[in-house]
Structure 1
């Protein structure tokens, strides 16, 4: 009986690993948009936290310090969304276990 239980557990672990690899690929391909200044700045990040697009309204190009702050806010917003979506996708695979990935 123990061997049957162990074989089943190994099969589940293998399936979990395959599912995790699949979800990791999904995460790499996803994108999240971060915004600031009511949409005047938009930043798109992919699942690897790389910026794929930045859109800045021309009206913001006159004040460098404000622009820098707003870009940082938009990036942090997008980053938070990527992190949250990644955790949600991984939670589905791990059954809620908090594994360090």
Structure 2
């Protein structure tokens, strides 16, 4: 019994280390998003840190339009980056979980 418990604790510690390594790796995974017409381009990391924003000169003429573009495109980029982030971390966590009947459906 204690051997199983120690094995599980070791596996959990290993999984925790893998999760931390994955979080660091996600700093290097870039997610790009563009406005529909391509006038605004945004690049984020999968950890949702903004790395680059390219604004077409035409958008600089209208403050309200630029603000609208930024809100829409940033929200789409954040949603995409969050999806990558959650998928990657869930895969690592699932890999490290002990084989407990019924847990597969819980983690989906």
Q: Deviations over 1:37-96 (max 9, x none)?
A: 322100111234232111111222221111110011111111111100000001111117
Structure 1 stretches lacking a partner, 5+ long: none
In the alignment, the residues of structure 2 paired with residue 23 and residue 47 of structure 1 have an alpha-carbon distance, to the nearest angstrom, of 10
Answer with 47-56 or 64-73: which moved more.
47-56
Partner of 1:13, secondary structure, is: helix
Unaligned runs of 5+ in 2: 95-103
Asked if 1:4 corresponds to 2:13, the answer is no
Moved over 6 A (4+): none
Task: Give the RMSD, CA atoms, in angstroms.
Answer: 1.7
Quote the residue 1:80 is aligned against: 79
Cα distance in 2 between the residues matched to 1:37 and 1:9:
49
Q: Is the 8 A contact 2:23 2:47 kept in 1?
A: no
Q: 1:4: how far off?
A: 1.4
Is this contact kept in 2: 1:35–1:73, CA < 8 A? Answer: no
**1:22 is matched with which residue?**
21
- Scaled by the length of structure 1, the TM-score of the pair is 0.84
